[in-house]
Amino acid sequence: MRKANTSPRWAEALPTAGSYFVLTPTGSSPAHLYQQLWHSFHRLDDVGFVDPSDQSVIPFLSVADNILIDSPKNDIVRLRQFLFDNEYTELNTHDFLDKPASQLNETERFYVQLFRFLLLKRHYIITTNFLDNQGIATFRIFFNLLENVLQATDSHLIMVTSDHEMVDGQPAERLLSADLFTQQ
């Protein structure tokens, strides 16, 4: 599958790197919206899709080898250092990168896919509404952890969500309308 090199038209609505939220329109499900986005943009070179229900791992390799296949070693060293510096309990810190991918749960698969696209320097990363079910406390920790990384890698994380609690208190420019993506 040859990937297209052009940036999507909605890229102009995302001026700065960081996290963005797409609220699911009434009468539609987050899964349906995510599938619509996937179908419209999965061919674009600059867009990565994160869906932990989708296995997307090589079970016989470690997490480190899975994140970037044939990756430069220093990328993984930097990621290891990052996880070490940011004691994020969800990832069991030290041993997470050495864990066999066949033993990952859905949350860990989410991080594998996310780190993969961050290290690949994808400018636009679209996730399912996976974080809706994780509880607001987990989301806040994750969100704070990630914001600096997104700024550093100049990436835009676009999270499909139907959870109003998650978007409460977010700046207006971080909330995107589903129409922006679906009316191309």
Partner 1 sequence: MLFINRAIASLKYHRRNSIITVVGMVFFMIIVLALQMLRQIETTISTGFMNNIQGFPKTIQSELQLTIRAMQVTHGTVLNQYAAYIAYTYLAIFIFLVVINSISLHHRQSELKAYSATGKSVSWISLQLFVEYCLLFFIAYVIVFVLGIVLTFVGTGWLRQVNQHIFLQQLPDVLSTTQTTAFIKSLFHQQLTFFNWQELLAGNTVTVNRIEIFTSGIRQSFFSFLSIVILAIIGSSWVGIHWWRFRQSRQYR
Is the Cβ of residue 121 or residue 140 nearer to partner 1 in the bound state? Answer: 121
Q: Which of 126, 129, 130 is nearest to 106 (CA)?
A: 130
DSSP 3-state of 172: helix
Radius of gyration of the chain (CA): 16
Is the Cβ of residue 66 or residue 162 nearer to partner 1 in the bound state? Answer: 66
Is residue 48 within the footprint of partner 1 (CB under 8 A)? Answer: yes
Is the Cβ of residue 42 or residue 140 nearer to partner 1 in the bound state? Answer: 42
Is residue 138 within the footprint of partner 1 (CB under 8 A)? Answer: no
Is residue 105 within the footprint of partner 1 (CB under 8 A)? Answer: no
Is residue 55 within the footprint of partner 1 (CB under 8 A)? Answer: yes
Token pair 């480190």: residue: 64
H helix count then E strand count, the chain: 7, 5
Is residue 65 within the footprint of partner 1 (CB under 8 A)? Answer: yes
13, 17, 56, 167: residue in contact with partner 1 (rule CB under 8 A): 56
DSSP 8-class letter at 169: T
In the complex, the smallest distance separating the C-beta of residue 95 from partner 1, rounded to whole angstroms, is 18
DSSP 8-class letter at 28: S
In the complex, the smallest distance separating the C-beta of residue 57 from partner 1, rounded to whole angstroms, is 5
69, 85, 89, 171: residue in contact with partner 1 (rule CB under 8 A): 69
**Cα(93)–Cα(63) distance, rounded to whole angstroms?**
12
Token pair 């400018």: residue: 123
**Cα(130)–Cα(139) distance, rounded to whole angstroms?**
10
**Cα(64)–Cα(49) distance, rounded to whole angstroms?**
19
Token pair 């989708």: residue: 54
Q: Total binding residues for partner 1 by CB under 8 A?
A: 27
In the complex, the smallest distance separating the C-beta of residue 183 from partner 1, rounded to whole angstroms, is 17
DSSP 3-state of 24: coil
Is residue 54 within the footprint of partner 1 (CB under 8 A)? Answer: yes
13, 61, 136, 149: residue in contact with partner 1 (rule CB under 8 A): 61
Positions touching partner 1 (CB under 8 A) are: 1, 3, 35-36, 38-39, 42-43, 48, 54-61, 65-66, 68-70, 102, 113, 116-117, 120
